[in-house]
Amino acid sequence: MSAVIEIRNLSKIYRDFWGRPKVKALNSLSLDVQEGEIFGLLGPNGSGKTTTLKCLLGLLFPTSGTATILGKPSHDVEKNERIGYLPEESYLYKFLTGDETLDFYGRLFKMSSAELKKRKEELLDLVKIKHARHRQLKEYSKGMTRRIGLAQALINDPDLILLDEPTSGLDPIANSQMKDLIIDLKKQGKTVVMCSHLLADVQDVCDRIAILHQGDLKVLGNVQDLLQTKGESQLRTSELSEEALKEVQQVLAKHGVDLKETSHPKTTLEDLFLRTVTESEQRPGRRFAPGELPAGGGDGN
Amino acid sequence: MSFLEILLHLVYQWAIVVGGASVAFLLVGTVISLLQNGSTAPGVLGATLTRGVLDLLFMSPRRIAAIARLTFVESYRRQVFAVGVVFLAVIMFGGWFFGDAKSDSIAPYVSTVVTPMWFVLVPMALLVSCWGIPADVKERSIHTVVTKPVKRSEIVVGRMFGYGAIMTVIVVVVSVVNYLWLIGQIPASLKDQMVARVPVYGQLTFLDRQGLESQTGINVGDPWMYRSYIEGQTQSRAIWRFHHLDVESLKKLESLPLEHRFEAFRTVKGDVELETRFQITLENPESKLRVTLPTMYPVREFVASGSERVIEIPHEVKYRDSYESNAQEKTANIFDDLIDSSNPELGATMFVEISCVEPNQFIGVNPADLFIRMGDKSFTGNYVKAMFGIWLFVILLVILGTTSSCFVKGPVATILCVGLIILGYHLTAHLESQRELAAAQAVHSASGPLEALYKLLTKSPELPNNFGTRVMGIIDSGAVSSLNVAQLAVPDLTQFSTEATDERLGLDISRGFDIPATHMIYRFIIVLSYFIPMVILGYFSLVLRELEHK
Amino acid sequence: MSPLAILNQLTVTQRKIVYAVVGALMLLPILILGSPADKLDKDGTPIRSGGYLAQMRFDDELGEASLGNVDPTSSAMSFGLLGFRGIVACMLWSDADDLKQRKEFAQLERKVESIIELQPHFRQVWEFQGWNLAFNVSTECDDVRDRYKWVKKGAKFMMRGTERNRRVPELHWQTGYFFGHKIGSADEKDAYRRFFIADPDENDPDIFGKNDPEINPEGKGNYEVARDWYLQTNALVLSGREQHQMDEPLILAYPSSALIEHADSIQEDGVQPDGMQLARHEDILEALAELSYDDDPEKLKEKQARLEAAYDAWKERCQTAWEKAYDSWVTDYGRMRLRATDLNRTKFILEIDEDEVEHLAKLQDVQPEVIQGWRTRYRKTTNYPTRKQRCHIESQPKMTEARYKLAEGKRLFTHMSDFQNSRRLLLDGLKDIEEVVLEYNRADGSNGVLVDEPDIVRNIIKSQILLEQAYLLSHEKPPEEFPLKDLVWNSQDSIIQDIKLESQQAYQAMFGYLTQ
């Protein structure tokens, strides 16, 4: 596996009129995204997720540091041939119909018209917009706009897909479909980078995550590893009766193990996230020194 | 100067302006880059330039077409074409303004439809082209586009093409409707003005009262310096030298049609009820054969239709070369006897001399006041040319608007373009008249801002003769010449005026003069010469800025 | 349940209907209060009618329509330009100036139209641009017919100004002045006055050779038309409209003085045979010559009768015109109750006796001297006595007779070389004129005619020169005694001597020599 995205010491500082630093949107971020993985960028609003994506795509110019994507610098438009990008809100042309939207974006790629036509049909099916393909986007609901946005991101059958809040504005069913789709993309061997503040989404689909807060990278690693709490075990069962619970306690006691808590399971990423953010607020700063490649990769810690 | 020479001259001027601007931009870019990147600046700069060259040279027509189409659809769906309603109103109610009012010229009819075109097309071109890209940035829809493999140069060009296409549709529809209206509304009595005369102009020289050669005639004190005057019953003459005559075409006409538009200047002497008249003498410059036509022609200066001022000189003219009453009547053939073709450099040449008949009265002449009227061309063709000219102007605006919208927001871009239009109309004209004035007074008028300031503050009309004055002079002449360079950079929009002060310039078809094809080419070149640098400027503006609305 | 709650229960359509009804109800008072005036007078000007607002507008003269007729395009343009009307008008004005300089007169005319659309009630716009067309543009043309066309355009422009501004005396006065002064006393007045009756515009068959009904519907002389406009001006002034053209007593004199100028111009036009009213001077002389000569004595007799008739008609016309002018000057103007420019607007009358002054003074509660003072002052500024005397002199039958004889004597001399008859007529004419002159001997020994009427003196001297030359040219000795020899010919008055010298030079210029 090789790195599809390499970010080294990427900083973005917004300055005021006098050139004084006003906001540090991103502070010396370094990370890699490997081919074929689903990578999640987490963080509260304003933590630098979108800034990172925009720097990667050349929409923003980093104050310092470099970002290589598919082996090319971020300002190189050639790389876009193999990239699909779904912006935070679908920034599309409201006056185009769904059909025209896909047609327009498709024409921006090296793609024959027959190919484009085929691809268009597939995507319209995939995102279930066929019935509304001849309506202008201004008449679309939020969910439909999101879906057509995804379709345009996939129009070129990209190898790398960057999704900014892919599930925002989607109802639970669509949300679940979106997640299935993302996993599906991974199965096709594509690399997906997604930003989100919806932890459940990330937990469900991502292989690895990075948590950003106030421009600093706080946590980076394999989801499974990160959520694993050493020295403790967790049992998940169907509803236990009183008797069953007592028996379990007895069995545990026999092995010298305490049953610390019985409850319904919790989204543990949320724990991690809250913990990280709270900790970061108490003890600001980076967790990974610049230049030092954070423990990345799929091999855990 | 031949057309080719003028063309080369234009290319030369263009190269200077574009080259100069490029160097200036490059310098500024280097400074900024050094400040931002420090030691890596040359590398960054080089990379940016290389990328720029590649992006500008290799553009994908397919992507440009896609963006152009998007632009067109956008405007169409935003009901830009509703502007047609405005024109419908003009066409419907335009007739009201005429009612039973009598006009002896087609000019009001033409301006009724052409003037509103400016009022609608110019704001529209600006509105369409100046606001598109900023809105795209503001709504961030441009993010979705630039994250596709689209070069920023393609966005600039695609936008220009798209806006151009919209404006083209509008210009075409409007001009067709206007044409039909014109055909229907212009009364039959004025139809003879619906022509496109093809004038052949000569060079004008004078003889003064004593018969000595002179570059100018008599100044009668008219503040409008357009015409110079000759006095009646003196040796004073106005002589037009026609070179490179197309004798074959003239032979087909079987006559020499001369059209004149002199001005009479009456003094208080003489009978007020008599018209001022003039007489024509044709001269072969080689054989010195002079033929004075016996007829005396009234000036008829304010007749709107030119046809009354056309003198058809038959190819065989009868004349007497003496005032003796028994002088023999002779015959001369215009083509054989009066046109000289011996000098290949000047081509077929003939002199036409005008004298004023009435004593104490004056006739005012400008080089354009006498011309050989070759076969007329059609009004329709001329109309098409004028509309093409208007179209070119609109396209120029689209180019300027699109480019300025790449680096400033919509309102600022609009103001910038309006400023350019105003400058384009007035700067050229102003500087030209300044030069004319300086030339006429034959003095070096290097007065500039500092000298003016000095005179204002000291209230003294004279400058002291010292070192300070010389320094001031140098700075002032620098200011004036920078204004001259600025003039080269600002489009000469007087070329596109439909109410030009001189029928040899502009797109005024109501005067019935053919718009020369070479002028159309010139206008086309103007537009083209802005297209290239503007695309470059727009490209770098988009590349070097973050596409975020701030 | 509150009304809002009720609204909430309605469907969208029902709510819309409720809103529409409420909106319409709110409009009702506006409709009632603001309904426009619906009654018009014969000119189409609204009279007091309509809603409360319209009536208030009428009472305070605030409506467009009360100023003059309304042009919908103009109102729409002013409305559409919002506050930029002034700027646009300025730009147009500057354009107009530029067009004038470049002699693009057709375009200038159109530009001016745009200006007045924007500023229809700005008096100076009408005045300036009207003058521009009639005075500045017209003189640029070479052909006198073209010049006349522009004078007409200027006059018509002013007339439209009066239509748009019915209550502005200045515009009416200016219009009158165009017809009187511009047409009647320009360098081209001979042509203009002729054209005023027979339009020279060949391109317009409706008016070619006739009076242009737009400016001269009844085919009158230019001064008569001017008088009609002056009368309108006076009606406005006397109804209390302010005017800033000139002193009120002066502007009120114009209708009467127009009659004087009219009589003067008829007299100056001279005899005009039938069908040749205001023909070119040369043509008239030719026609008269034609009438004075024939080989066939029968025909000659008939011709002479026609000539006589023409002269009689002229005499008749002159005398009537002068009588009318005298009446108007002395009765209409002289007896008018004029207002002085002092704070009290003291009323006075020019033609008034002592008793009446007393009476007028009592009425106004001022000293009689005050009234006398104003009277004396305005008699001077208006040239009242001199003009009265002029009318008096000219309206005498003897004077008309004398003028006829002198004019015919001059014609016979200069155009027929009939010195015998010329001599006779000149002598008779001078005798007649002597009689008239003697009537105006004043108590101080001076003579009213000789002091105040240089034109008559000139006529006398010219006739005397012709008389002398007529004798000399028929190789006879001029008589020792001839009428007015002492009073005029040998007068010591330097002004008269100057006139004599001037007339002798004019004679020399005409014939090349003066027989001694």
Q: Assign residue B49 a region: left if phi > 0, alpha if psi is -120 to 50, beta otherwise? A: alpha
Q: What is the distance in angstroms between the Cα of B22 and the nearest Cα belonging to chain C?
A: 38
CA nearest to B105 within chain C: C106
Query: Which of C388, C323, C384 shows the shortest CA–CA distance to C348?
Result: C384
Q: Tell me which DSSP letter residue B461 carries.
A: S
Q: How sure is the predictor about B516, in pLDDT bands with cuts at 50, 70 and 90? A: confident
Is pLDDT of A244 > 90?
no
Q: Specify the DSSP class assigned to residue C229.
A: H
Which residues in chain C are closer than 8 Å to B276, comparing Cβ atoms? 142
* Separation CA A33–CA A37 (nearest Å): 7
Distance CA C6, CA C9 (A): 5
**Cα(B281)–Cα(B352) distance, integer angstroms:** 6
pTM: 0.75
Residue B334 banded pLDDT, cuts 50, 70, 90: confident
Q: Is the pLDDT of residue C45 over 70?
A: no
Query: How far is residue C254's CA from residue C227's CA, in Å, rounded to a whole number?
Result: 7
| Least confident segment among A150-154, A218-222, B385-389, C347-351 | A218-222
Amino acid symbol at B407:
F
Chain B residue whose CA is closest to C143: B275
Mean pLDDT (whole number) for B474-497: 78
Q: How many residues does chain A have?
A: 301
- Interface mutation vs chain B, best among C88, C92, C104, C143, most B CBs within 10 Å: C143
- Mark yes or no for CB contact C143/B268 under 8 Å: no
Our CA-based measurement puts residue B548 at a distance from the nearest CA of chain A, in whole angstroms, of 8
Chain centroid to Cα C321, Å, comes to: 15
The residue type of C312 is: D
User: What span, in angstroms and rounded, lies between the C-alpha atoms of C271 and C307?
Assistant: 9
**How many H helices and E strands in chain A?**
9, 10
Query: Tokens 């498709």 — which residue?
Result: A106
Tokens of B332: 């001369």
> Which chains are within 8 Å of B by 3+ CB pairs?
A, C
Which among A81, A87, A100 has CB closest to B144? A87
Closest Cα to residue B171, out of B75, B59, B81?
B81
Q: CA angle, B244 as apex, B243 and B248 as ends, to 5°?
A: 125
pLDDT at residue B139 tops 90: no
Nearest CA in chain B to A57: B147
In the Cβ-directed half-sphere of B137, how many Cα atoms lie within 13 Å? Answer: 22
Check contact C-A (3+ Cβ pairs < 8 Å).
Answer: no
A-proximal residues of B, 133-162, CB under 8 Å: 139-151
Structure confidence at residue C78 as a pLDDT band (50, 70, 90): low
For A105, residues 6+ apart whose C-beta sits below 8 A from its C-beta are: A152, A155, B144, B145, B148
Residue B541 φ/ψ, nearest 5 degrees: -65, -40
Are A185 and A123 spatial neighbours (Cβ–Cβ below 8 Å)? no
Chain A contacts in chain B segment 20-79 (CB below 8 A): 51, 55, 62-63, 65-66, 69-70, 73-74, 77-78
Q: Is B546 in contact with A61 (Cβ distance < 8 A)? A: yes
Checking if the pLDDT of A42 tops 90, the result is no
pLDDT value at position B80? 76
State the pLDDT at residue B549: 58
* B104 contacts chain C (CB < 8 A): yes
Q: According to the model, what pLDDT value does residue B100 have?
A: 44
Residue among C141, C191, C204 whose CB faces B302 most closely: C141
Residue B224 C-alpha, separation from nearest chain C C-alpha, in angstroms: 6
pLDDT, tens digit, 9 for 90 and up, residues B377-397: 899 999 999 999 999 999 999
Nearest Cα of chain A lies from the Cα of B60 at a distance, in angstroms, of: 9
pLDDT, tens digit, for every residue of B431-481? 777 777 666 665 555 567 888 888 888 887 777 778 888 888 888 878 777
Contacts of B304 in chain C (CB under 8 A): 106
The C-alpha atoms of residue C177 and residue C159 are separated, in whole angstroms, by: 12
Query: With a CB-CB cutoff of 8 Å, which residues 124-143 of chain A face chain B?
Result: 136
B-C CB pairs within 8 A amount to 49
Q: Please name the residue of chain C whose CA is at the shortest distance from the CA of residue B106.
A: C106
Q: Choosing among B272, B363, B508, which should be mutated to test the C contact, i.e. which has the most C CBs within 10 A? A: B272
Chain A nearest-CA distance from B28, in A, is: 18
Q: In chain C, pLDDT over 90 holds for what percent of residues?
A: 37
Residue C237: pLDDT over 90: yes
Q: C-alpha C189: how far from its chain's center?
A: 13
Task: Name chain C contacts of B102, Cβ cutoff 8 Å.
Answer: 204
| Residue C338: per-residue pLDDT | 92
Instruction: Judge whether B510 and B107 are in contact, CB under 8 Å.
Output: yes
Pairwise CB contact (< 8 Å): C190 & B264: no
Place of tokens 């000149």: C426
In the predicted model, what is the mean pLDDT of chain C?
A: 86
More confident residue, B458 or A294: B458
What value does the mean pLDDT take over residues B211-220?
90
